[in-house]
Amino acid sequence: MYKRISAFLFPVTAVLLVGALVWGYQENQEKNSLLIKAENQYQRAFHDLSYHMDQLHSQLGNAIAVNSTSKGMHRKSLVNVWRLTSEAQNEVNQLPLSLASFNHAEDLLSRMSNFAYQTSVRDLNKEPLSEKELKNLKVLYENSKDISKDLHEMQSKVLAHNLRWMDVESAIATEKQPADNTIIDGFKTVDKKVEQYSELDWGPSISNMYDKRSVKKLNLQPTTPQDIRAKAARFAAARPEEVKVLENGKNTEWPSYTAVIHAKQGGGKSMDFTHNGGLLISYSDQRPVGKKATDRKQAITKANSFLSQKGYKGMKPVAYDEYDNMANITFVPTEGDTLIYPEKVTVRSALDNGEVIGLQASDYIYEHQNAQKPQKAKLSLAQARKFLNPGFKEMYHRKAVIENELSKHVLCYEFGGRINGSVYRIYINANTGEEEKIEEVKDADDNFTKDQHNKQLVS
């Protein structure tokens, strides 16, 4: 009997063993294939980074080598600088550098990219490179030379010692030091040098892009938890004793308060306030949302009424997006007949009954504090309309202040309409006639624009 069982089990066991060995071999091959692919990707990104930094140095040299009146060469060189810094940023993001701090170098690449882009897109005939900008280019030329040299040295060591990026990634994953720290130490060295570079004056448009919305910039008096409790209770129509106040980011650039009201049925409401002035940053009601029973018009009407009750006067809806029985509606304040887009407020409405369950007002807070009245347009509506494509089918128009690509607030004529089968908003500078911004309108907001933003909303 045992012989018969053995005779049966032996071949079965042998087949299973062989199958396991084949499966293990295939798994190992696939794993090795993935490791080789990842290693090749890391090596390619690193060598491309070194190459593009070398090219970046050359393009900066071209920009400062020509005469200060060479507008065409300046534009060409700056466009190439923007392209190369964008490539370099992309390659840095492909490398496993979480263990090696590279934040300062990445920040320099980002600022250089934005500086090159904003300078190249402006009209250099009317606004040529200033002495300060030319000086910045000379400093960046020397900085890029330094960075490129260090990367070349790293590249030589990587090739000479056949160093593997996968060893670096494995060390990061296991929190162990790799056998050779050349790669990590090299990037740390580069970043340390960049940190010690003298700070450049990039100009207000670039600085504004990186300017943290510090509460210190709000020229308002600090508030206390008691003040916040009272404000939160009034906003949410609750009793002060129901409000719990938490202080966030104490002794930082961005201190704030969070007020929480717990509901007996679960969920609850929360509000964030600025430390200075006690201004509402955001509001959220976590109640469950039922089936949709409210249309767009009703939701916008209730949202408008809510904002008016909470002190946001003269707001107009400019965008509508609907999902999961909820709607996000963007409102902006008006100054006369002009919409002020930088001071936008976003409201979230529950479409089961149209009630507001969320509010985001951070843009309104910071832009409204430094708001300036829009200047009078130099161009008439008819003159601005002449700058549109003849094939553009205008559906509506209005005046608006927007923030352009140079981070400047500019007065524009906003034209909504169709061309090439799509809906667009085109913003024409009310003083120069230049196209400041073009937006394609999609999805739920498409219907909002098709019917001239519901006419009654923009009348």
CA distances (Å), origin 351, targets 219, 316, 378: 38, 20, 43
Which residues are CB-neighbours of 315 under 8 A, at least 6 positions away? 304, 307, 308, 331, 332, 333, 334, 345
The pLDDT value recorded for residue 373 is: 73
Would you tell me how many other CB atoms lie within 10 Å of the CB of residue 425? 20
Contact 449, 441 (CB under 8 A): yes
* The pLDDT of residue 209: 65
Highest mean pLDDT among 201-205, 249-253, 331-335: 331-335
Q: Exposure pattern of 196-208 as b/e (b: 16+ CB <10 Å)?
A: ebeebebbebbee
**Residue 437 CB neighbour total at 10 angstroms:** 18
Indicate the pLDDT class of residue 389, thresholds 50, 70 and 90: very high
Q: What DSSP string describes 187-207?
A: HHHHHHHHHHSPPP---HHHH
What is the pLDDT at residue 457? 41
Q: List C-alpha distances in Å: 326 to 134, 304, 355, 359, 416.
A: 51, 16, 10, 13, 25
- Whole-angstrom Cα distance, residue 134 to residue 129? 6
Average pLDDT, the chain: 83
The answer to whether residue 255 scores a pLDDT higher than 80 is: yes
Give the count of alpha carbons within 13 A of 146, CB side only.
17
Q: Hey, which bits of 175-268 come out as E strands?
A: 243-248, 256-261
Length of the chain: 459
Average the pLDDT over 426-431 and give the result. 95
Instruction: Report the pLDDT value the prediction gives residue 191, as an integer from 0 to 100.
Output: 86
Token couple for 95: 């490398």
Choice among 55-59, 150-154, 213-217 with the minimum mean pLDDT: 213-217
The model's pTM: 0.70
- The answer to whether residue 447 scores a pLDDT higher than 60 is no
Q: Is the pLDDT of residue 211 over 50?
A: yes
Hey, what are 388's tokens? 């549109």
| Per-residue confidence band for 61, with pLDDT thresholds at 50, 70 and 90 | very high
* Banded pLDDT at 366 (limits 50, 70, 90): confident
Helix, strand, coil percentages, rounded to 5, for the chain: 50, 20, 30
Q: What pLDDT is attached to residue 196?
A: 86
Q: How far apart are CA 218 and CA 171, in angstroms?
A: 45
**Whether pLDDT at 28 is above 70:** no
Dihedral, CA of residue 230, residue 236, residue 239 and residue 244, to nearest 10: -70
* Nearest partner of 339 among 380, 383, 398, 394, judged by Cα: 398
pLDDT for 448: 52
For the chain, domains (ranges, CATH) are 9-210 (no CATH), 225-369 (3.30.310), 381-450 (3.10.450)
Q: Are 172 and 144 in contact (CB under 8 A)?
A: no
Strand partners, 426: 415, 438
